[in-house]
Amino acid sequence: MTIDQAGVPEARPGPAFPEHEARVDALRRQLTAIGGEATVRLAKRTSNLFRSRAAAKHPGLDVSGFTHVLRVDPETRTADVEGMVTYEQLVDATLPHGLMPLVVPQLKTITLGGAVTGLGIESSSFRNGMPHESVLEIEVLTGDGRIVVATPDNEHRALFHGFPNSYGTLGYALRLRIHLEPVKPFVKLRHVRHHDRGKYFEALREICASSEHEGEHVDFVDGTVFGPDELYLTLATFTDSAPATSDYTWLDIYYRSIQRRETDHLTVRDYLWRWDTDWFWCSRAFGVQHRLPRLLLGRRFLRSSVYWKAVALDRRFKIAQRLLKLRRLPPEETIVQDIEVPVGRAAEFLEFFEREIPISPVWICPLRQRPGDVRWPLYELDPEELYVNFGFWSAVPLAPGERDGVHNRMIEAEVTRLGGHKSLYSDSFYTEDEFWRLYNGDAYRELKRAYDPRERLLGLYEKCVRGR
């Protein structure tokens, strides 16, 4: 660890916000108190990760105070935000200025720091890429104890570009400055049904290339696949007015409306959080897609953060496994993944998935790297290519003799075959050689040597691959 004569990690250079600086100083003192050899982890009560975490042997760093939107500047369309700020907080701070982040991941409690050190995606990603592509600078607590400000062109530019997909193994984001974009009060949605997967992805390609459909501008694109002949593209457009707006924050369920309505209107805030009330469609596992429990629970408890707590409880006490055993049903393998493949291979992947993995619906989201000669070495995309993200979150029964992980390994192999990528927020099963080949081990090891040479933070492979 780099320390000064008083035994405290060196202070970060440059201007800052005084109250934020006080929180940074307190965090530096915490780090010093942990000791120079102990493994450092965040003391977090909640997480949007879906992979197991080993119990920490030492006290974690308490970053719970880093939850402030420090500034929203309407003139420059930027915001300074602490790393533990959720997108719900940020959206509430920016919308009064007629602005929003360029990409707003689907769940309210995803944090800015988490989305940037991990990966995020949403229906604006076909034009705005991923959340890290709208970052102007990041203040990072590195593994060796320094607090540095990384920008695209300063002495820490390698860390700036290598931070995405490092998942806290190089350091933790304490403050970020990000781009914002203007919004209108309402969003008009069109749900366009297709019956053929090849034509579906060709239409997706054309719409993303032109940002229009049937003469109408398109600001957002995502899709939902309910079956081999029931595929929907949802095309959404900012608008100044709406004849009426739907409400999917309580009794009505958004994903069901896709099959029932050709057009719809939402406020911009409700559009951004349209998936959160039912965690896409995963709330059905908790029995809350029936009207009576929704009436009883109300809006307060119909949200992803509540479902996540239920999942954490199930993991702790293995409730679902015990119930399957009591009912004499086969064990199940959890499959919670987001992957992307080039649009030209998307129909192939969907055909494989429908044949081998009995999960429905499936979420579809196109993404393209933002224009500019920029490399993100730990998650490289072809800047000339449109990719299609597939999101699927459920469990499938294991046949007699099948080992847990067999379906996830099958998916990983197919994604690799098709030239795609897989997000690391959930369980991975790669061998170490394969993992580093796919996620640029050479670049990662160079960054690790520069910013965490004593390996006080877990390594990326150790953190992300099951059994490690």
What structural domains and CATH numbers belong to the chain? 18-180 (3.30.465.10), 186-422 (3.40.462)
Residues with Cβ within 8 Å of residue 66, at least 6 apart in sequence: 20, 23, 82, 83, 84, 85, 113, 174, 175
pLDDT at 425 over 80: yes
The fraction of the chain above a pLDDT of 70, given in percent, is: 92
453/457 Cα distance (integer angstroms): 10
pLDDT at 390 over 80: yes
Residues with Cβ within 8 Å of residue 301, at least 6 apart in sequence: none
What mean pLDDT do residues 385-391 have? Answer: 98
pLDDT averaged over every residue in the chain: 91
Report the pLDDT value the prediction gives residue 216, as an integer from 0 to 100.
97
Report the pLDDT value the prediction gives residue 324, as an integer from 0 to 100.
73
The fraction of the chain above a pLDDT of 90, given in percent, is: 80
Please state which of the ranges 32-36, 51-55, 395-399 shows the lowest mean pLDDT: 51-55
Please state which of the ranges 187-201, 206-220, 299-313, 318-332 shows the lowest mean pLDDT: 318-332
Report the pLDDT value the prediction gives residue 443, as an integer from 0 to 100.
98
3-class SS string, 152-166: CCCCCHHHHHHCCCC
Report the pLDDT value the prediction gives residue 37, as an integer from 0 to 100.
65
pLDDT at 145 over 50: yes
Instruction: Provide the pLDDT confidence category of residue 389 given band limits of 50, 70 and 90.
Output: very high
Report the pLDDT value the prediction gives residue 36, as an integer from 0 to 100.
63
Instruction: Provide the pLDDT confidence category of residue 6 given band limits of 50, 70 and 90.
Output: very low
Concatenated DSSP letters of 282-295:
GGGGGT-SSHHHHH
- Radius of gyration, CA atoms only, the chain: 22
pTM for this entry: 0.92
CB 258 within 8 A of CB 224: yes
- Residue 75 has phi, psi (to 5 degrees) of -70, -45
Instruction: Provide the pLDDT confidence category of residue 134 given band limits of 50, 70 and 90.
Output: very high
pLDDT at 310 over 50: yes
Write out pLDDT tens, residues 220-264.
999 999 999 999 999 999 999 999 999 999 999 999 999 999 999
Report the pLDDT value the prediction gives residue 61, as an integer from 0 to 100.
85
User: What single DSSP character describes residue 426?
Assistant: B
Strand partners, 336: 393
Instruction: Provide the pLDDT confidence category of residue 320 given band limits of 50, 70 and 90.
Output: confident
9/15 Cα distance (integer angstroms): 18
Report the pLDDT value the prediction gives residue 333, as an integer from 0 to 100.
94
Tokens of 377: 């070495």
Please state which of the ranges 208-217, 319-328, 394-403 shows the lowest mean pLDDT: 319-328
User: Counting Cβ atoms within 10 Å, is residue 164 exposed (0-12), middle (13-18) or buried (19+)?
Assistant: buried
